[in-house]
Amino acid sequence: MIVYTILYFSAIFSMEKKVKSILVLSIIAFCMNWLAGIFSIWILTSVSKLLSVIFFLIIIIMLIRQVATAPQVNLKVILGSVMGYLLMGLVYSIFVAYIMDQDPSSFNIPQSYDETSTAIVHLDESVYFSFVSLATLGYGDILPLKPYTRSFAIWITVSGQLYIAIIVALLVGKFASLNIPAKPK
């Protein structure tokens, strides 16, 4: 829960423009996330995951727009692009955790020693799987077993590589355009 709190605040502070509706959405999603963690009610957990996904997707889109429209490359632009990548991995991990909760046979998950709290185990494993797939490492210890989970894993890997390629191209293009000397006449 503390990690989610840090992510919510860092996502909000990474934005140049603080839109009131996004701040309201972040407060609602943040509160729902904490309530779902405290009360462990299924519907509350589902709503909090949905609100988190919506909030993080909006932040990702705004961060990409912020990077694309920045006049020059500076530390805030670079940190915004990194934050967008990390939030994208987090959104995917929320989806993977939801899939693992709804269909336990969708992934081949190595058995852990403590099977008492499946929600925490699924969260840890979903974050791990999402970031390993996003970075196209593919260790192979957690495998998608069903066709829809394999398709989703492919989507994660392709979108992760596209994000890196597009953001790096934008950053390099902006940096190079500022350092081109004018031709003498």
User: pLDDT tens for residues 127-174?
Assistant: 999 999 999 888 888 999 999 999 999 999 999 999 999 998 988 888
Q: What dihedral do alpha carbons 31, 76, 135, 45 form, nearest 10°?
A: 0
Q: What is the pLDDT of residue 22?
A: 79
What is the DSSP-derived secondary structure letter of residue 140? S
What is the DSSP-derived secondary structure letter of residue 144? E
Of residues 90, 83, 100, 82, the one with CA closest to residue 29:
90
Domain assignments of the chain as residue spans, ordered by start? 2-178
Under a CB-based contact definition with an 8 Å cutoff, are residues 78 and 112 in contact? no
Q: Is the pLDDT of residue 118 over 60?
A: no
Q: What is the pLDDT of residue 165?
A: 94
CA distance 4 to 86: 12
Q: Is the pLDDT of residue 117 over 70?
A: no
Across 28-39, average pLDDT: 82
pTM for the predicted model, two decimal places: 0.81
Across 82-86, average pLDDT: 90
Of residues 146, 143, 142, the one with CA closest to residue 102:
146
Across 60-66, average pLDDT: 87
Q: What is the pLDDT of residue 7?
A: 74
Q: What is the pLDDT of residue 184?
A: 64
Which CATH code, of 1.10.1660.10, 1.10.287.70, 1.20.272.10, 1.10.3720.10, is assigned to 2-178? 1.10.287.70
The burial class, CB within 10 Å (0-12 / 13-18 / 19+), for 58 is middle
